[in-house]
Structure 1
Amino acid sequence: REQGKSKRCHSVQRFAQHFNIVWLDPNIKESDETSRNSLARFRTIADATNIFNDPDQFIDYITRPRSEKLFLVVSDTFARSIFPRIHKVVQVDSIYVFDNNQPSNARWNQEWSKVKGTATQFDTLCNLLKLRSRQCEDNFASTSVVPSANVTGTSSDELDPSFMYSQILKEILLDVDYNSKAKNEFVKLCREQFSADKDELKVIDEFEQYYPYPSHSKELDQDPSPIWWYTRDCFLYVMLNKALRTLDIEKIIKMGFFIRDIHRQIEEIHLELQLREPLEVYRGQGMIADEFEKLKNNKGGLLSFNNFLSTSMDRDTAKSFAYLAQSDPNMTAILFQMSVDPSGIFAVLGKDISFYDEKE
Structure 2
Amino acid sequence: MATNIKVNKSIINSSSIIKHNIIIWLNSDHNYTHENIKNSFQKIQYLISSIEIFDNISECINYLKTIKNENTFMIIADSFYEQYIHGTNLIEEINQIDTVYIFCSDPLKEKFWENECQNQKGTFTNIESIIAAIEQANYPPENNHPTNSIISIVNNDFDELDPSYIYSKLLLEIILKIEYDDQAKKESFNYCRQYYADNKATVKAIDELENDY
Aligned residue identity for 2:76: V
Q: Which SS does the other structure have where 2:80 is aligned?
A: helix
Uncovered stretches (5+) of structure 1, i.e. residues with no partner: 1-12, 145-166, 213-360
Return the alpha-carbon distance in structure 1 between the equivalents of residues 196 and 65 of structure 2.
34
What TM-score do you get using the length of structure 1 for normalisation? 0.37
After superposition, what is the alpha-carbon deviation per residue over 1:250-292, rounded to whole angstroms, capped at 9, x for unaligned?
xxxxxxxxxxxxxxxxxxxxxxxxxxxxxxxxxxxxxxxxxxx
- Select which of 43, 54, 57 maps to 2:56: 54
Return the alpha-carbon distance in structure 2 between the equivalents of residues 32 and 67 of structure 1.
25
Partner of 1:96: 101
- Select which of 71, 75, 78 maps to 1:76: 78
Return the alpha-carbon distance in structure 2 between the equivalents of residues 67 and 187 of structure 1.
25
- Select which of 96, 111, 114 maps to 2:119: 114
Partner of 1:19: 21
Q: Is the 8 A contact 1:17 1:140 kept in 2?
A: no
Partner of 1:177: 181
Mapped pair 1:124 → 2:126: no
Report sequence identity in percent.
19
Mapped pair 1:139 → 2:162: yes
Query: How does 1:333-344 map onto structure 2 within 5 Å?
Result: none
Return the alpha-carbon distance in structure 1 between the equivalents of residues 67 and 34 of structure 2.
31
- For the pair shown, the structure with the greater C-alpha radius of gyration is 1
CA RMSD of aligned residues (A): 4.3
- The 1:29–1:48 alpha-carbon spacing in structure 2 relative to 1, beyond 3 Å, is farther
The Cα shift of 1:210 comes to 9.5
Return the alpha-carbon distance in structure 2 between the equivalents of residues 142 and 134 of structure 1.
7
Q: Which SS does the other structure have where 1:61 is aligned?
A: helix
The Cα shift of 1:193 comes to 6.2
Return the alpha-carbon distance in structure 1 between the equivalents of residues 96 and 188 of structure 2.
37
Number of equivalenced pairs = 168
The Cα shift of 1:87 comes to 2.6
- The 1:201–1:122 alpha-carbon spacing in structure 2 relative to 1, beyond 3 Å, is farther
- The 1:29–1:59 alpha-carbon spacing in structure 2 relative to 1, beyond 3 Å, is farther
- The 1:19–1:55 alpha-carbon spacing in structure 2 relative to 1, beyond 3 Å, is same
After superposition, what is the alpha-carbon deviation per residue over 1:9-58, rounded to whole angstroms, capped at 9, x for unaligned?
xxxx6257521111101136997542442365564431111110001111
After superposition, what is the alpha-carbon deviation per residue over 1:196-246, rounded to whole angstroms, capped at 9, x for unaligned?
6xxx899x48x739955xxxxxxxxxxxxxxxxxxxxxxxxxxxxxxxxxx
Uncovered stretches (5+) of structure 2, i.e. residues with no partner: 1-13, 141-160
Partner of 2:36: 34
